[in-house]
Amino acid sequence: MTYIYDLASNDLIEAEIVPASGKLPHKKDGWKFDWNKLLKEKNSEIYVLRLKNAPFTIEGMVQLKTENKMLIMEVIENAPHNYGSSNKRFDYVAGCLIAFGCRESFNLVGPYKGYLTFTSKTNLVELYKSRYGASQALGQRMFIDDINGLKLINKYLN
């Protein structure tokens, strides 16, 4: 089961991660990425995190891409109402999406099975290290290994 944390009620709310379909959020709605454009990219899948009891409201999204037998978290974004720290509605959104990417990486065949790689914004490198157990490879390139991936899966998806 997947749960995100409702900051107003201090409750865990059941959520689900499903493949993206239909009309996706736009930049004009406060999102930072053009998810409809990303949906058309090759070797890529987009997943949405939504509440079980409100399936039409997206709480976060992730784009996973396979290249050279490696799973790459190309883009991850919380819904605009889940940004920041003062007016954020739900926590654990990014954690659930990253853990999902880690779980998907175990479906790979080859030397990168269980590894999720991504490029971080400079200001988020330390956050990825401390909160998600990521390691820095080169520059802003980071990865989550199989051991830390399993920890995230157990924390956010089980």
Alpha helices per DSSP H over 33-122? 35-38, 93-105
For position 5, what pLDDT does the model report?
Answer: 95
Total number of domains in the chain: 1
Sign of the Cα torsion 155, 136, 74, 104 reads negative
pTM (predicted TM-score)? 0.96
- Residues 17 and 92 sit within 8 Å (Cβ to Cβ): no
Query: What is the CATH number for 80?
Result: 3.40.630.30
pLDDT tier, 9 (very low <50, low <70, confident <90, very high otherwise): very high
Task: Of 88, 116, 111, give the one whose Cα is nearest residue 100.
Answer: 116
Region 136-147: mean pLDDT is 95
Backbone angles phi, psi at 85, to 5 degrees: -125, -20
pLDDT in tens, 69-87: 999 999 999 999 998 777 8
Region 118-133: mean pLDDT is 95
Taking residue 27's Cβ as centre, other Cβ atoms within 10 Å add up to 12
| CA separation for the pair 93, 106 (Å, rounded) | 21
Region 89-103: mean pLDDT is 97
Structural domain including 141 reads: 2-156
